[in-house]
Structure 1
Amino acid sequence: MGQAAFDNRHLVKQVAQSGHEIACHGWFHEYVYSMSPQKFRKDTKRAQEFLADLTGKPIIAYRAPYFSITRKSLWALDILAELGFHYDSSIFPTNNWRYGIPDYEPKIQEIHTPAGSIYEIPLSIRPILGHNIPISGGAYFRLYPYALTKSNFLRAERNNCSVIFYIHPWELDPDHPPVSLSWKEQLTHNINLRSTNIKLQQLLLDFSFVTLSEVLNNHLSNHHQSKALIGFD
């Protein structure tokens, strides 16, 4: 988030200079659906402009805190397009007490808004017995045995799908200072924290990773090639 970037400007610069993509996560890390559109625009623009000034590059990617673009906050996509974001990766096609659109199609989609188009890259899921189960990342990565995470990745590979993996810096520090959380948040915040590092090391050995921009560009390239082939036929 923007506040964390402000407090650790040297780290953000180092990450950007290493070739990683920097995206926007808002300034104060609030639920999108708890904000008014005006507050969301102000919060997001502040973080976007600060990160652009810090890295010297336009910030074109966004992820909502807590994946909180849900049915009641889809208006946020209009504002993201208005602010010049090219893609968003906030919609989780699953059912969670804090987030999720369970019936959202789990593939890259172009969303048309009054302000222009923006692409949605939804989080990765695996359909099991009529339910969309998150594949990996965050608490799911810590909760699942590594064998299950690897199985999820391999299944996605067989289906020619990319897996969207995410992790928070604090998950790599099991001794991080305590934070004030509700009892529901506490249930998943601290569980299996000491497993994160070893699981992540194994994941990096077993699979290769690219930025979300590369995933989107590959998708668009393949889509355009398919359209050309259809036209040729």
Structure 2
Amino acid sequence: MRNLLSIDLEDWFCVSNFDALIPRSEWDAQQFRVVESTRALLELFDRRGVKATFFVLAWVAERAPELIREVAAAGHEVACHGYGHQRLTQLDAERFDADLGKALTILRELSDAPVVGYRAPSFSLTERTLWAIPVLERHGIRWDSSIFPFGAHPEYGIADAPLTPYRLGEDLVELPMSCVELAGRRMPCTGGGYFRLYPYRLSAALIRRCNQAGRPVIFYAHPWEFDPGQPRMTMPLLKRLRHYNHLDVTLERLDRLLVEFEWGPMGAWADSVRDSAPLLPPGSAGARAKAA
């Protein structure tokens, strides 16, 4: 089974964990490291012959347009991660419309292929932010990968959302982040901090279990997760461990994962499941919220 490889292309200081430490007004003063770390990923993907989907933060694209052109020229898919990495929970429909429109204008000028995929910063498409769906549709977004069907995280997730693709609108397909059900509970198996914190064998076993259930895994990572030399911020111990753990071995682990499993970009899969994906299945948390 071909799994789905995605990169949230943002720099080390853009993460939500640093919102209170590095205001957006100070982003331009930070050390810009995303070009080097992204090129390391591009070299790895080229060596292993895999293509990925890059959810690009348009603020970065404005400052490194040549990097986004490199991504597109290498045959990878360019999708949208918004402009300023503001979570949907920090916006309203009007401000999100402006953020998304600005981001898509920038990205569509840098990519020869249509930019029709979206992932919300910090997976912030939740029951509280379903107002974003018509905004996405209005801007020509045809597939989304923002909903985490998981309820144990304090800042994101819809606990009982479907694990398989469904439509958020007539033409908007949701590709939910990957979880495995174990003993009646859901366990993420989708990359990011989970991939760095889990033992490698556990990550691989969860991917196999998801594949055995007939579902490809959506794997995600950020360029900063492969950059052990990035500046270190002062944070509470638990957050510090979660954020910086295993940065020095993540590239090696990903290389192993690329060899062990088959991978590809996300857009083609979204198109392949579009006709069979149900429209907001009854009983899902998203369906209840929209009906309300």
Aligned to 1:230: none
Instruction: Give, in angstroms, the shift of residue 181 of structure 1.
Output: 6.1
Q: How does 1:130-145 map to 2 (within 5 A)?
A: 130-145=184-199
1:104 aligned partner, one-letter code: A
1:141 aligned partner, one-letter code: F
State yes or no: 1:73 paired with 2:129: yes
From 57, 64, 69, the equivalent of 2:113 is 57
CA distance in 1, matches of 2:133, 2:110: 24
2:225 aligned partner, one-letter code: E
State yes or no: 1:101 paired with 2:155: no
2:188 aligned partner, one-letter code: P
CA distance in 1, matches of 2:118, 2:63: 20
1:14 aligned partner, one-letter code: E
Q: How does 1:69-218 map to 2 (within 5 A)?
A: 69-95=125-151, 96-112=153-169, 116-179=170-233, 185-218=239-272
- Percentage identity across aligned positions? 34
CA distance in 2, matches of 1:83, 1:37: 13
Instruction: Give, in angstroms, the shift of residue 32 of structure 1.
Output: 0.6
2:84 aligned partner, one-letter code: F
The TM-score, its normalising length taken from structure 1, stands at 0.89
CA distance in 2, matches of 1:102, 1:204: 29
8 Å CA contact retained: 2:226, 2:251: yes
Aligned to 2:35: none
Instruction: Give, in angstroms, the shift of residue 200 of structure 1.
Output: 0.4
State yes or no: 1:7 paired with 2:63: yes
Cα 1:59/1:180, change in 2 over 3 Å? farther
Aligned to 1:18: 74
State yes or no: 1:27 paired with 2:52: no
Aligned to 2:286: none
Cα 1:179/1:80, change in 2 over 3 Å? farther
Instruction: Give, in angstroms, the shift of residue 179 of structure 1.
Output: 4.9
The TM-score, its normalising length taken from structure 2, stands at 0.71
8 Å CA contact retained: 1:64, 1:90: yes
2:121 aligned partner, one-letter code: P
- Higher helix fraction: Structure 1 or Structure 2? 1
Q: Deviations over 1:87-120 (max 9, x none)?
A: 10000001211100011011100122xxx53111
Higher mean displacement: 155-164 or 187-196: 187-196
Unaligned runs of 5+ residues in structure 1 are 225-233
RMSD, aligned α-carbons: 1.8
CA distance in 1, matches of 2:189, 2:221: 13
Aligned to 2:99: 43
Cα 1:181/1:213, change in 2 over 3 Å? farther
Q: Secondary structure at the match of 2:264?
A: coil
CA distance in 2, matches of 1:179, 1:166: 23
Q: Deviations over 1:142-191 (max 9, x none)?
A: 00111011111111221221100000000010111235767764342112
Alignment: residue pair count:
220
Instruction: Give, in angstroms, the shift of residue 85 of structure 1.
Output: 0.3
8 Å CA contact retained: 1:162, 1:215: no
Q: Secondary structure at the match of 2:167?
A: strand
- Higher strand fraction: Structure 1 or Structure 2? 2
